Structure 1
């Protein structure tokens, strides 16, 4: 090749590269995925200094945010209603703290952001997003109400009220919570896609309320609001002993609708004794046992305008005010997600009619049926079949996990439960009239509304299936609270399970809000001495607390969430709890050695022919406890460094040295081996840096 041709080609390549680089410098950038306190357009933000996050999008590598401008206003024309603006040279785009004037309660604010990159390019303003501040205690002017008389029936009560919207509406906002669970309807329609509201929290300490924008749903003139209450975790069966009414024996509703008219005037509608209550078609509904629904007892139109209340409708009763703290939602709601049609309907060797949905999930089945009035259809739920191929429910223990539907007149009907959920792949159906076809059945998965953020695929089908199972295990056990199982008579927020899985959970999905919400319950249920219960919310005995690896949830999860999301807020919120837990261990340790208390140890360790529910583990439990004592102390030190608590850093670093020395003195033999010669012992010693350098 001649030199002129070579130089010519090199020049062309050089020119292309130059223009490619120039194009990169003049690229378009955009701002997306805007959130406030980890949530998209959240209602009921209780934080007086909310934090904003966003992502800068670019198609070119090595592009970084160099500066941002954020503005907040009282309407969508932010520039004309601005209450705060901030311009900074910073690459920060996660949890930028509001620093403007005090925000007003129960007020919607609008915000947007724009950025510049390290090449000098500027984005356009992002789409306008919003957040609404929550109610203060004095903002609540409504009353708790319950059914007429005593709330002794298993049936789910219905409460209703018609109210008059007198003028054109500018905004209409409903604030609702319940003792128990609630399903709210306006003019015959559900007001949201949320399920199991108000969620499960440590009810004796705090109760969540939800906020709904009903501006487009209310109409001028009469409107009707109807609410059905369920037992849920508040009154229903929960825990091992078959106990119910753990938090209270009376289901109740608190409702407040605030209307701002177009002329600027305001009106508030509340729950009081002008509301009416009656039982309806839900004869019973229980988290463990399932739901019984009698369509013959439906009262069509009860949740709409013009319904004629008969003698069964009695005036609601106002309850005395209580001291329970009402808080806005800080985590995602539980919603419907994937749906599945049957892959097979078959007869088992015992002659059972069983439906296989092909996926183990948590949720329920929507059933379509038509038959004579009084026909009872029963849907039992199971995760597996036995070795012979029959329906298997022994693992459910005493949980019935069964829904019953009683048909009304011979018309097409559709059923799904309201206040229960099941863990299942297989459904056994009894009493179905006529031929059962796949068209009659749809399974729907129910779990907290968490965005998937991580994925894994490989050339190995077994590894891919493992990841699939992990993700579905997370979905099924993240129904408002991180549970150990979603099907048997347990379904509790076991702390050890949560801390062991937290890092994986954060890889798979956005769980920042989910764990922020739950960790508030960990703090609330922490005992006075600083010990942490086995389960949260704690429905077991108070003495069931303080197990190594379980109670360490107090330090592990806040740190894991900080590592995953860079959220100092959760460290700040949980720091006192973290410190109290480490101080508790120190108070019961002798000479810095934690060799007391009740511990699960290497739970579910397997020994052939000697597997007593995991209690056959051979690694010394106090050795395990000492390693977690060190680990929690190290995480407390880490948090103290992030939060600038120098005195605590010095204090607990000195403690950590003594803890590790006590471990070596107690557990290491003269020849350098550990007293428990097990994989668990060595893994924990290495993972938690318990061994001396030499």
Structure 2
């Protein structure tokens, strides 16, 4: 090999190509979201950040390409808009200016930029965005176990702190059909003769839901869809299942919980509000190689059964009985028994079905046990070392039917028990073992603000002599909060300031859920004063651009006919006048 000649050829190629710009477009967004699947507008706005190799470098021009095929950079085909070289330093809210974008269609785009010396960057990695389907194309039915009339749930928004000492409250609860408060699992089996080239799933599972395809979880969001005033707005989510479907039997499974859509518990009761029993809206749009299409939708052909979740309530916690599991219920080959019933087609929620475009809530971090204190046989106090919003996850083994209970809280009563006196209780989680080796579990539809866990009904880490109790071998705190992008950091030379900032940062994240809550346990409500009082700091720490439209819509949905914006949005309960008509909260609507 002629090494000098090879070096000279490589150098010549670089010189002929010209120098690259000292800045690179990164973190491409469309309508403030990375790779969004539910863009409503026909003129989406594009944006990017700039990674600089040298200080003082700036963008002087850009070029955007939008296409219908992901390989357009190499094939130079399917491009539907080429902005050309645009002399501008604009890198956000760049409007699409090509032919009309079609609903339910996937588009791909990239950008390159020029610096102040006229040097051009490489093309950014290709990103995608999808137009949301037309509302007229959303033809699925809302389905569940029983109708709203059959459920006989409490109506109205005046159930603040309901007490069973009040005859009205007791009678209302006893009149409810118990099925209306239960978590259910729904399944649909269908067959495919060929693999689709595109498959998009659109789903709204109220109050909250988890979707599986052939037993595999779809997505990783928690408490989806995001909370709203379901009489005004109902959000749905989208998932790309392309590549996950194949010829043969396919099974869609959905697990439903109550959330704020149906919050009528009998443990801790900050409020009751119900828009109806748990319900599902689902459409799977498939396109085949020949261009033909097919749709699987929620309708009367689905079946349901009670799930192993025997109790779920945002304020009261969650109970799970693993002995009630139906192994393989959401996988091909499962044969439903007599416990599976045909679904009921339900009344649709009154709210407008709306694409969800705000970031979801996810498990964002995990915290192991830091300190352990044995209180007595079968009772241990666990200090997780961090106050957070979330729920515990356990690993346990033991006999069938044994019950492990977890009481969570921020405070202790003395040093021997968790106290929920100031945060609202009782709120706890329980797990009934199926007795089949090591079992893992975590709640699906409830969370709390806590640092301490009181573990009851089990030994911890090591089996005590002569004990027949289950053995819990691991406990982890799952920290949940909104998954929006963090675009700000703080650090200084004063360690105390750093610690104070970290403390506040954790508190903000714990209250950053579907809305900015006042606390992650006692109320969990969207008190509006924090939106404007803490707003400037929040904007400096998080990319709130995709969050604010939902925040504003929540306030619009809550606004009264006389113009009043109440203190909370969504307004799940109407407080007395002093807390409802209060400018320090409602002024967020104009600030």
Give the TM-score taking structure 1 as reference length. Answer: 0.73
**Residues 446-489 of structure 1: CA distance to partner in whole angstroms, max 9, x if unpaired?**
1110222212222322211111011111110011110000012x
Counterpart selection for 1:493 from 526, 547, 558: 526
Offset at 1:540?
A: 2.4
Are 2:365 and 1:365 equivalent residues in the alignment?
no
Between 1:235-244 and 1:160-169, the stretch displaced more is 235-244
Counterpart selection for 2:444 from 399, 418, 436: 418
Any conservation in 2 of the 1:182–1:227 contact (CA below 8 Å)?
A: yes
Counterpart selection for 1:80 from 56, 77, 80: 77
**Residues 422-452 of structure 1: CA distance to partner in whole angstroms, max 9, x if unpaired?**
2111100000146468851111111110222
Aligned length: 530
Counterpart selection for 1:533 from 550, 566, 577: 566
Are 2:511 and 1:477 equivalent residues in the alignment?
yes
Any conservation in 1 of the 2:394–2:440 contact (CA below 8 Å)?
A: yes
**CA pair 80-27 structure 1, distance change in 2 beyond 3 A:** closer
Between 1:280-289 and 1:404-413, the stretch displaced more is 404-413
**CA pair 389-130 structure 1, distance change in 2 beyond 3 A:** same
Give, in whole Å, the separation in 1 of the partners of 2:358 and 2:215: 28
Q: Which residue of 2 aligns with 1:513?
A: 546
Mark the runs of 5 or more structure 1 residues left unpaired by the alignment: 1-23, 557-694
Give, in whole Å, the separation in 1 of the partners of 2:260 and 2:37: 24
Give, in whole Å, the separation in 2 of the partners of 1:241 and 1:183: 25
Which one has the bigger helix percentage?
A: 1
Q: Which residue of 1 aligns with 2:58?
A: 64
Counterpart selection for 2:137 from 121, 127, 139: 139
**Residues 607-635 of structure 1: CA distance to partner in whole angstroms, max 9, x if unpaired?**
xxxxxxxxxxxxxxxxxxxxxxxxxxxxx
**Residues 9-68 of structure 1: CA distance to partner in whole angstroms, max 9, x if unpaired?**
xxxxxxxxxxxxxxx986543111101111110111112221111012221121111011
Give, in whole Å, the separation in 2 of the partners of 1:73 and 1:133: 13
Q: Which residue of 1 aligns with 2:128?
A: 130
SS at match of 1:396: coil
**CA pair 321-350 structure 1, distance change in 2 beyond 3 A:** closer
Give, in whole Å, the separation in 2 of the partners of 1:548 and 1:243: 23
**Residues 205-224 of structure 1: CA distance to partner in whole angstroms, max 9, x if unpaired?**
11110001111221211100
Give, in whole Å, the separation in 1 of the partners of 2:350 and 2:186: 24
Any conservation in 2 of the 1:73–1:84 contact (CA below 8 Å)?
A: yes
**CA pair 464-310 structure 1, distance change in 2 beyond 3 A:** same
Between 1:64-73 and 1:536-545, the stretch displaced more is 536-545
Any conservation in 1 of the 2:231–2:275 contact (CA below 8 Å)?
A: no
Give, in whole Å, the separation in 1 of the partners of 2:376 and 2:545: 47
Offset at 1:113?
A: 0.7
Q: Which runs of 4 or more aligned residues in structure 1 lie more than 6 Å from their structure 2 counterparts after TM superposition?
A: 238-241
Structure 1 residues 23-422: aligned runs within 5 Å: 27-78=21-72, 79-87=76-84, 88-147=86-145, 150-151=150-151, 152=177, 153=179, 154-237=181-264, 242-244=270-272, 246-321=273-348, 323-347=350-374, 353-386=380-413, 388=415, 390-397=417-424, 399-422=425-448
Q: Which has the larger radius of gyration?
A: 1
Larger RCO: Structure 1 or Structure 2 (Cα < 8 Å, ≥ 6 residues apart)?
A: 2
Counterpart selection for 2:580 from 512, 529, 545: 545
Between 1:538-547 and 1:109-118, the stretch displaced more is 538-547
**CA pair 552-214 structure 1, distance change in 2 beyond 3 A:** same
Offset at 1:410?
A: 4.5
Any conservation in 2 of the 1:365–1:441 contact (CA below 8 Å)?
A: yes
Any conservation in 2 of the 1:371–1:433 contact (CA below 8 Å)?
A: no
Offset at 1:400?
A: 2.3
Give, in whole Å, the separation in 1 of the partners of 2:185 and 2:124: 44
**CA pair 412-25 structure 1, distance change in 2 beyond 3 A:** closer
Any conservation in 2 of the 1:357–1:425 contact (CA below 8 Å)?
A: yes
Give, in whole Å, the separation in 2 of the partners of 1:243 and 1:540: 7
